[in-house]
Amino acid sequence: MMPRPFAEVASVGVAVPPNVVTNDDLSRVLDTSDQWIVERTGIRERRIAGPEQSVAMLSQEASQRALAAAGVGADELDAIVVATVSPDRLMPSTACDLQALLGAERAAAFDIGAACPGYIFALTVAEGLVASGQGETVLVVGAEKLSTITDFQDRSTAILFGDGAGASVVRRSSGPGRGILSTFIKSDGRLAPLLLRPGGGSADPISEKVVCERSHYMKMAGREVFKAAVLAMADACDEALRRAGVTADQVDLLVPHQANLRIIEATAKHAGLPMSKVMVNLDRYGNTSSASIPLALEQALAEGRIGPGSVVLLVAFGAGFTWGSAVIRW
């Protein structure tokens, strides 16, 4: 087998709904304030999709941009991996809807549920498909319509989440040393009760009771999640760097999951990276779960903060609990 890097991230494309909801908009319907939200999270606004914009449609827009940027046709895709916790339907997968929208007839298409690190988990799967010779070109998507699973009567979660999609073409590495240098993924299912949607699945199918109890919406023990996220993201940074044989001072940009500015600052501090080397855009989009890292990556590319040869460290944490990291040489 060829040595690593097997695969590279050839492009990133994104899509967000046009509708901007500010903290002030939320404070008109919830007992909260712009000041509280900015001080505790760093979030200023988020995008909320309307009923006419599905996760598959957001994914299609992001994917078409990623395909165009990589100069790849949808008919060249061997696989489509969509990471989402807010699929359009429970069956079939959003990836299959996306395949039909793109006309990617050759591709195998499937979803993975890994919450906020979903893009990193999907990248890991894509790299594995390329490394094992099962595909040359894989589309990785992180896409969410979290507004449909957020309880807008619960101020502790309603302020956090937003909608959006990001996509990347992952293909065989085009040059020595260029591409995914390492990935690290991990989970601890014992901690699932701290962040979950208790109702609406097969354990407690949708019913009048579920709707009355509002148990089809996300529930989160914020403080516990916060503490676990800080520890896990610190460990994940160390692990991805160790596996890549890269030291922190060789990292050009840290692109962390955009959940909370305080978590991001703690992660950067642990990794020994100044905030000038950290991509932050949660002020514009809030926490978009699996879309968060590609949304941040795309902005970093557009701003010229990532260019050919840049060493980029990705890290994320979310429901499951799940966490993961990756080092990429662009």
Binding-site member from 17, 142, 318, 324 for ligand ACO (CB under 6 A) = 318
B/e letters for 152-172, b = 16+ CB within 10 Å, e = fewer, are eeebebbbbbbbbbbbbbbbb
Under the criterion CB under 6 A, does residue 116 sit at the interface with ligand ACO? yes
- Among candidate residues 116, 237, 260, 281, the one labeled active-site is 116
**Residue 36 touches ligand ACO, criterion: CB under 6 A:** yes
Closest alpha carbon to 313 in 297, 298, 325: 325
**CB nearer to ligand ACO: pick between 7 and 225:** 225
Of 58-66, 96-104, 154-162, 276-284: span binding ligand ACO (CB under 6 A)? 154-162
Which residue from 11, 32, 147, 299 is in contact with ligand ACO, where contact means CB under 6 A?
32
CB of 265 to ligand ACO, least distance (A): 12
Of residues 271-290, those binding ligand ACO (CB under 6 A): 287, 289
User: Which bin fits 133, alpha (ψ -120 to 50), beta or left (φ > 0)?
Assistant: left
Name the segment binding ligand ACO (CB under 6 A); options: 3-11, 32-40, 66-74, 168-176. 32-40
Q: Should residue 155 be labelled a site residue for ligand ACO when binding is judged by CB under 6 A?
A: yes
Contact residue for ligand ACO among 55, 225, 300, 306 (CB under 6 A) = 225
96 noted as active-site residue: no
Contact assessment for residue 196 and residue 218, using Cβ atoms and an 8 Å cutoff:
yes
Cβ–Cβ under 8 Å, residues 15 and 55: no
Do 204 and 198 meet the contact criterion of CB atoms below 8 Å apart? yes
Nearer to ligand ACO, 11 or 292 (CB): 292
- Do the Cβ atoms of 104 and 80 come closer than 8 Å? yes
116 is catalytic: yes
- x/- mask, ligand ACO, residues 160-189, rule CB under 6 A, reads ------------------------------
Determine how β-strand 322-329 pairs with β-strand 311-318.
antiparallel
The only residue of 226, 235, 252, 265 in contact with ligand ACO, by rule CB under 6 A: 226
Strand partners, 326: 183, 314
Q: Which stretch binds ligand ACO (CB under 6 A): 6-14, 35-43, 50-58, 200-208?
A: 35-43
Interface residue list for ligand ACO (CB under 6 A): 32, 36, 40-41, 115-116, 155-156, 159, 195, 222-223, 225-226, 229, 259-260, 263, 287, 289, 318-319
Q: Annotated catalytic sites, by residue?
A: 116, 257, 287
